[in-house]
Amino acid sequence: MPGAAERGAELREQMEAFVARLRGGGGRPRSEDTARHTLALLRKIIAHGHWGSAGELMELIRAEGRRMAAAQPSETTVGNMVRRVLKVIREEYGRLRGRSEESDQQESLHKLLTSGGLNEDFNTSYPTLKANVIEAINELLIELEGTTDNIAMQALEHIHSNEVIMTIGYSRTVEAFLKEAARKRKFQVIVAECAPFCQGHEMAVRLSKENIETTVMSDAAIFAVMSRVNKVIIGTKTILANGALIAVSGTHTLALAAKHHSTPLIVCAPMFKLSPQFPNEEDSFHKFVSPQEVLPFTEGEILAKINVHCPVFDYVPPELITLFISNIGGNAPSYIYRLMSELYHPDDYEL
Amino acid sequence: MSTDDLIEAFRAQLRDDPDVASAVAAIRALLGFLKRDRGETIQGLRSSLLDAIETLSRVDSSVAVSSGGELFLRFISLTSLEYSDYSKCKEIMIERGEIFLRKVSLSRNKIAKLCHPFIRDGARILTHAYSRVVLRVLEAAVESKKRFSVYVTESQPDQAGQKMAKALRKLDIPVTVILDAAVGYIMEKVDLVLVGAEGVVESGGIINKIGTNQIAVCAKAQNKPFYVVAESFKFVRLFPLNQQDVPDKFKYKADTLKTSQNLTEEHPWIDYTSPSLITLLFTDLGVLTPSAVSDELIKLYL
């Protein structure tokens, strides 16, 4: 059928373009956009791909997911969305089989003792599976749209009048959070500029447009100013399975200073940033960019004698974090394992 | 099946396969007991099993045997809830028991697969006493071509650390045996601490060979990650708040409990490490933070 072949070729092309864009790594894509693109691509694969049973579909998604995730390991939202889709497929399959949702999902001591030894083989084919899965993915997309608003809605509970809030760099989620609170409360914000890209400047400009009293300061002054700060509110790139963060470089310093002064550290991040990976020593989350920002190439003489690095991300351990505010509410870092078991299936942690 | 036969079956399990965990040997012996049981009712079965578990803990009073026994009892209760006809119930129990034992024999490999990525190339690892699970993890790390060196504490009073060192040398891993008292000294050189556990308690803490608590405190003081590897059948329904709360029957060997006049003069064999000192637990149910352990136990027992 010419229609199918055409669609197949078009899908191929879109996949290649997406992978190339991920690998290129230029600019600073919004995590939400990456997540939306990934979901849209996966939906196309489900709609037009060649698969017969749920098992084959999962294999297909897994293979494509592995390719996309390998293109840019620090872009963890891609992998997260693939895992969400795999969980959706399992759930829909289970529902069609007539199983209740709770059983068979998680490994547990209970399951070890009571199972009859039959493993789900996902080989029966159901004609309505495709439609059900696509519908569930559409629901996921709708959920994605609303994440920033859901987080911002909780702002009034956490920010009170005449407080001094500190943040670092430019996070769109934190921007929405602070803007929502500013509608009803008067408070001050101190923004650490977050060298070498100095995105804190952009954040400060946007906040001051909303008539929030903003101060920009250098990263070196974080500790000095911390004694005056009531709360630290930051965004993050990824939340790891043990409750730790992979956030913009400079966040660990901020977190340590906050811990020292017993200032609460609040992380605003939507649930699609939660990744089931642990911070093992594979160091696959690191991303280094051109050291041009740190020491420009014009300083040729010095450059010949030294090594210059420009890492983009920082690791923040879970003990330094007080609260996670996500689109499903506020949670402590020690509760992350539970949220993870609701979003992903253990067999999918390793794509 | 008489008590002597049961004890003999248990001892035979431990003899034939020195690598088997004592909890698994206990469960196998209990399954054999179940197969030979002549009772006609669930109540009768339950009470004879309780006696059997009591007998086994008189032979080996460790936490592992106790947790294995309790797991088996739970297994019986869960199965008997589903089938009211006794003979059918018994058939299903035996079938599920075999499946459980098969799954459990794979648990060490699962744990090794989860844990070895956390060992970086060039790492220096500190471990305590003799743990077969830790041995398996280090074996897996060697198989994935990582180079690392290990410090083992001598672990008095039975010098279990020497046994561990011997086993590690067979795997061509550079090993150094250190005194138990030298842990504070060596901690600055070490990259991570990896220990096994005899029991994992509800709070996410562990019960392990005496000396583990010290190592955990030193590791915390110097910011070194403290990893625990344990199979899921070691989860027990205890919630000790301090060392005193751990029952005496676990602290001392079975013979000591029988013969000693004054337990306070005996040296305990185990101690309790609190969950705040533990970074991560590697189990066959996945990588867990200490707070996730109680969730697993609740799912089973409630």
Residue of B70, B82, B83, B96 to mutate, testing the A interface (most A Cβ within 10 Å of its Cβ) = B96
Average pLDDT over residues A47-56: 84
For residue B296, give the chain A residue with the closest CA.
Answer: A108
Write the residue in B233, B280, B286 that is nearest to A107 by C-beta: B286
Contact check, Cβ <8 Å, A278/B103: no
Number of C-beta neighbours around residue A41 at 10 A: 22
- The predicted pLDDT at position A26 comes to 67
pLDDT digits (tens, 9 = 90+) for A139-175: 999 999 999 999 999 999 999 999 999 999 999 999 9
- The predicted pLDDT at position A338 comes to 86
**Chain A: closest CA distance from residue B289 (Å):** 6
| Rounded CA separation B13/B6 (Å) | 11
Task: With beta carbons less than 8 A apart as the criterion, state whether B126 and B183 touch.
Answer: yes
**CA proximity to B111, closest of B132, B142, B96:** B132
Contact check, Cβ <8 Å, B74/A113: yes
pLDDT band at A113 (very low <50, low <70, confident <90, very high): low
Write the residue in B118, B280, B288 that is nearest to A281 by C-beta: B118
Can you spell out the DSSP letters for A7-74? HHHHHHHHHHHHHHHHHH--S---HHHHHHHHHHHHHHHHHHS---SHHHHHHHHHHHHHHHHHH-TT
| Rounded CA separation A34/A238 (Å) | 13
pLDDT digits (tens, 9 = 90+) for B138-186: 999 999 999 999 999 999 888 999 999 999 999 999 999 999 999 999 9
pTM metric for this prediction: 0.88
> Can you say whether the dihedral through the CA atoms of A274, A280, A282, A283 is positive or negative?
positive
Task: With beta carbons less than 8 A apart as the criterion, state whether B142 and B119 touch.
Answer: no
pLDDT digits (tens, 9 = 90+) for A239-295: 999 899 999 999 999 999 999 999 999 999 999 999 998 887 556 677 888 888 888
pLDDT digits (tens, 9 = 90+) for A52-96: 888 888 898 999 899 888 888 888 899 999 999 999 998 888 888
Average pLDDT over residues A338-349: 87
Write the residue in B95, B279, B291 that is nearest to A334 by C-beta: B291
For residue B232, give the chain A residue with the closest CA.
Answer: A109
Q: Report the residue count for chain A.
A: 351
Chain B residues close to A278, C-beta within 8 Å: 118, 280, 287
Highest mean pLDDT among A228-232, A241-245, B286-290: A228-232
- Cα of first residue to Cα of last residue in chain B, in angstroms, is 31
| Rounded CA separation A263/A261 (Å) | 5
> Can you say whether the dihedral through the CA atoms of B93, B94, B97, B102 is positive or negative?
negative
**Chain B: closest CA distance from residue A243 (Å):** 9
**Chain A: closest CA distance from residue B264 (Å):** 36
Contact check, Cβ <8 Å, B100/A112: yes
- The predicted pLDDT at position B97 comes to 84
Task: With beta carbons less than 8 A apart as the criterion, state whether B164 and B238 touch.
Answer: no
Q: For chain B, give the percent of residues with pLDDT over 90.
A: 45
pLDDT digits (tens, 9 = 90+) for A187-197: 999 999 988 88
- The predicted pLDDT at position A80 comes to 93
Task: With beta carbons less than 8 A apart as the criterion, state whether A338 and B292 touch.
Answer: yes
**Chain A: closest CA distance from residue B125 (Å):** 14
- The predicted pLDDT at position A350 comes to 81
Q: ipTM of the predicted structure?
A: 0.82
**Chain A: closest CA distance from residue B189 (Å):** 18
Between A109 and A231, name the one with better pLDDT: A231
| Rounded CA separation A178/A165 (Å) | 9
Chain B residues close to A335, C-beta within 8 Å: 291
Contact check, Cβ <8 Å, B99/A281: no
